[in-house]
Chain A
Amino acid sequence: MYTSQGKLALVNLSSGEVTITCTPQQLVEKYLGGRGLNMYYLHKLLKPGVDPLSSDNVLIIGAGLLTGTLAPNSSRINITAKSPESGILGDANMGGFFGAEMRLAGFDRLIILGKAPAPVYLYLEDGELEIRPADPYWGYNVNDTQKLLRRDIGSDIQVACISRAGEKLVRMACVMTGIKNAAGRGGMGAVMGSKNLKAVVARGNQGLEVHDAPGLFQTRLELQNYLRNSKVCQVLGKVGTPLLYENSNRLGAIRTHNSQLNSFADSLNASEVEKFTEKMVSCYNCVVHCRHRNILGGEGPEYSTLALLGANCGIANTAQVIELNNLVNDLGLDSSSTGTIIPWAIELYQQGIIDENLTGRPLEFGDFGLVKSLIEDIAERQGFGNLLAESTQAVKIFGEQSKDYLIAVKGLPQSDPHDIRYIKSFALGIAVSSRGADHLRGRPTLDILDLPGELTEKIYGSAVSPDPTAYDTKEKMVYYHENMYAVTDCLGICKFVCHSFNSPHLLRREHFSTLIEEATGLEFSPEDLLEAGKRVLDLERLINLGEGVTRADDTLPKRYFDEEMPAGNTKGHKIDRKQFEGLLSRYYRLRNWDENGRPAPERVAEIEGLAAMDLEAIGLEGIGLEAIGLDAVGLEAFGLEAVEPGAGGRGLHNG
């Protein structure tokens, strides 16, 4: 045990058995926590090829190594399972207050197996876990579910819950906490719904011990002062992420009309959104406060929601977009997927690939009423919305041709509203992201900031091209940013205060080493942290290979290769297939993967060696694993040797 270590709970919802144990320190040293340890347990416990919406899926809710501590912006947790949206690994990171409360209640991680016979929620308090009936809360959306739980249990709880969309297994359903904090990506809400798990409720009284309180306090003050003086943190605290809209739009790289166009109205600029802001508020222990409380009764919008439900749907009215934002949050829908799937359907209708027999009505861009009702229908799985609720898997219904217009990779709709045909590093990041098309795995856009060459050389270790449209050297950026983001996700720190997300400055691995030592007493050098980040990326690759991912899946939407950007400063740009394949090969080599994207044998041996640790050694014995078919855990049962690439029950991968 190290200072502040919490418990690991294994919950078999089928049998009602609960085992409470701890993660061995040996694994913490390799995978840190958060996303890293979640991936360890997913790899160990998930049988390749299972239906993500069956009781065989493994749902893991894991806090970062620093979550809940006095480290700046340490609010975050990861929720991980096989994704019902993409069919590969699913993993979503969430801020707010729930993750810290789970830690304050004595738990670092929950591994949830099986399926409850009737709706339940989990209640955590001071090292104890109860499975409780959730019938009074089933059928409610995000806000009402939390209000009812607070009414019944007390206002000093934090809740992570699903909405009706999660209950109805909508494939882009989120897990939500508070009004807008979402574990948004990959349909983790649908996984909870499939397990009849409505919510997890935490009440933390016992708190977190601290290894070196005076040291941690002093470091926190120094870092807070540093961050508060950073321009990017100041702007985020004033207008939040919508600041990015104008940058992308001015460049001519905003996704609009399903990426048929690349520039849109100024009415979605941050200066316009700001007019609807009542107050900026923060997550747990945050020094940035980038969350807008809006005057229309919700929180947000973030840049992604603003641009995808606005520009991508062709809706320019600021108030209407904020209303849609508030709606998807309460309905517990991933705004990135929703704001990609609806415009996709509208274009399919315009192209004549689907017709009114399927849609039930004409589909047009810019129709606020249409978009609003489609969102409601998706959440309720009614009418045409029931088909859209399948997200990318609706290709099976709309036909193969529809895939040509789908802005998704590996079955996950693209999250960032940036049209990545211009910035080639961004394009590679989206293509190789381990959860599908997503910018929070490795958004490498420092080359758009026009930074001095010596600074980028210092960051990346060798020179990178300052030209954002160049392919040469951009593999180094993606490699570097992916490693950094993996580390921050393992620690539970918000990326907005971390080096390399929006800035070449802010918190670096050296800072993390100090914070970890002061908070936990564990010693990790900056190099140890980097190696852990790389290890997590390699592990995620192994999980995805087990689900049938191949090099062919590390690609981009067809439109990005075949169609030039139509207007603005970016006019004429697209992705060159040959150059892209060269870039991908260089990225693989940098990661020490072979030409097919398989990690090096020594890394595979290391990861599988850790995964083969017997159940007893990692505290997993006696939890009724036999009931879900995991009676003997050995290399053969989970190793890749038993699974040929291409096998398994993956869903739709990008074509």
Chain B
Amino acid sequence: MAKPIRVIAEKCIGCESCALACSMFKTGTIRPKAAGVVVHIDQFNKVEKPVLCRQCKQPKCVEACLTGSLYQDADGVVLSDKNKCTGCWACVEACPFDAVHRDTIRNIAVKCDLCYGHEAGPRCVTICPVQALTLPVTD
């Protein structure tokens, strides 16, 4: 079964490289707020925290999706069909981990799909300069 990307928040330096790379491929533009991985950064409260999908076995986002845009593949990766998304944000509200993000320009939800179909693996993991994001150990 699919395992989520592991986040080691204490290693995160808050550079947002992961979100820039992710959004560049996910949305076609560099838009770190509309990436599959979004980094919560708050200098005033000492926060650097990447947030991305945990690939839940029983995903609340899929349950909440009104259009069938969100679904799980055979490996349990939660995927989205952007053509079906209407931007109702039910999935965003339903996710207990704030891991589904709003693309307010295209009006669709964006989430981590582990760079599905990209042979080299998740780009956020590749680009993270401090290994705050790592791939899970496979079974």
- The reply to whether B17 and A287 contact each other, CB–CB distance below 8 Å, is yes
A283: contacting residue among B15, B20, B31, B123, CB under 8 A: B15
Q: Is A97 an interface residue (CB 8 A)?
A: yes
Shortest B11–chain A CB gap in Å is 10
Q: Which of A126, A178, A220, A284 contacts B16 (CB 8 A)?
A: A284
What chain A residues lie within 8 Å of B33 (beta carbons)?
Answer: 156, 204-205
A317 at the interface (CB under 8 A from B): no
Given A282-B14, A283-B15, A284-B15, answer yes or no on A217-B42 (Cβ-Cβ < 8 Å): no
| Any A CB within 8 A of the CB of B64 | no
Within the assembled complex, what's the spacing in Å between the Cα atoms of A70 and B30?
A: 8
CB distance A287 to B31 under 8 Å? no
In chain A, positions 390-412 with a C-beta closer than 8 Å to chain B are none
Interface assignment of B129: CB less than 8 Å from any CB of chain A: yes
Residue of B nearest to A213 (CB): B24
- Determine if B97 is an interface residue (Cβ-Cβ < 8 Å): no
Contact (Cβ within 8 A) B44 A217: no
Is A643 part of the binding interface, using a Cβ–Cβ cutoff of 8 Å? no
The answer to whether B17 touches A285 (Cβ under 8 A) is yes
Residue numbers in A under 8 Å from B41 (CB-CB): 97
Judged by a CB distance under 8 angstroms, whether B43 is at the interface is yes
Asked if B34 lies at the interface with its beta carbon under 8 angstroms from chain A, I say yes
User: Complex formed: what's the CA distance from A213 to B41 in Å?
Assistant: 25
Cα separation A283 to B14 with both chains bound (whole Å)? 7
Contact with B along A163-203 (1 / 0, CB 8 A): 00000000000000011000000000000000000000000
Mark each residue of chain B from 111 to 139: 1 if its CB lies under 8 Å from any CB of chain A, else 0: 00000000000010011011000000000
| Chain A CB within 10 Å, residue with most, of B28, B43, B44, B105 | B43
B48 interface residue, CB < 8 Å from A?
Answer: yes
A299 to B46, CA, bound (A): 11
Closest to A203 in B: B33
Bound-complex Cα distance A209 to B28 (A): 7
B interface size (C-beta, 8 A)? 32
A104 in contact with B30 given A143-B44, A210-B24, A281-B14 (CB within 8 Å): yes
Query: Which of under 10, 10 to 19, 20 to 34, or 35 or more describes the interface residues of A?
Result: 35 or more
- Complex Cα distance A206/B27, Å? 10
A465 at the interface (CB under 8 A from B): no
> Are A147 and B30 in touch, CB under 8 angstroms?
no
Query: Is the CB of B86 closer than 8 A to any CB of chain A?
Result: no
List, in ascending order, chain A residues with CB within 8 A of B43's CB. 178-179, 281, 299
Residues on A with beta carbons closer than 8 Å to the beta carbon of B14:
281-282
Kindly state whether residue A293 has any CB partner on chain B within 8 Å. Answer: yes
Pairwise interchain contact A70-B20, C-beta atoms closer than 8 A: yes
* CB-based contact B44/A146 at 8 Å: yes
Do B13 and A286 have beta carbons less than 8 Å apart?
A: yes
- Bitwise interface map of A from 67 to 110 toward B, beta carbon under 8 Å scored 1, else 0: 01110000000000000000000000000010000001000000
- Say whether B34 contacts A207, CB under 8 Å: yes
Instruction: Say if the beta carbon of A477 comes within 8 Å of chain B.
Output: no
The smallest C-beta distance from B56 to any residue of chain A, in angstroms, reads 25
Q: In whole angstroms, how far apart are the Cα atoms of A97 and B43 in the complex?
A: 11
A207 partner, pick from B13, B31, B42, B126, beta carbons under 8 A: B31
**Chain A contacts for B127, CB-based, 8 A:** 217, 220-221, 224
Counting CB contacts under 8 A, is A280 at the interface? yes
For chain B, residues 12 to 64, give those with C-beta under 8 angstroms from any C-beta of chain A.
Answer: 13-17, 20-21, 23-25, 27-34, 41-44, 46, 48
Q: Which residues of B contact A216 (CB under 8 A)?
A: 24
Subset of 18 A-B contacts with CB under 8 Å: A104-B31, A104-B32, A143-B44, A204-B31, A204-B33, A205-B34, A206-B105, A207-B27, A208-B30, A213-B25, A217-B127, A220-B127, A224-B129, A280-B13, A281-B13, A282-B14, A286-B13, A289-B129
Which residues of B come within 8 Å of A, CB atoms? 10, 13-17, 20-21, 23-25, 27-34, 41-44, 46, 48, 104-105, 123, 126-127, 129-130
List 8 additional A-B contacts (Cβ < 8 Å) besides A143-B44, A279-B10: A207-B23, A207-B34, A207-B105, A210-B24, A281-B43, A284-B16, A286-B13, A299-B43
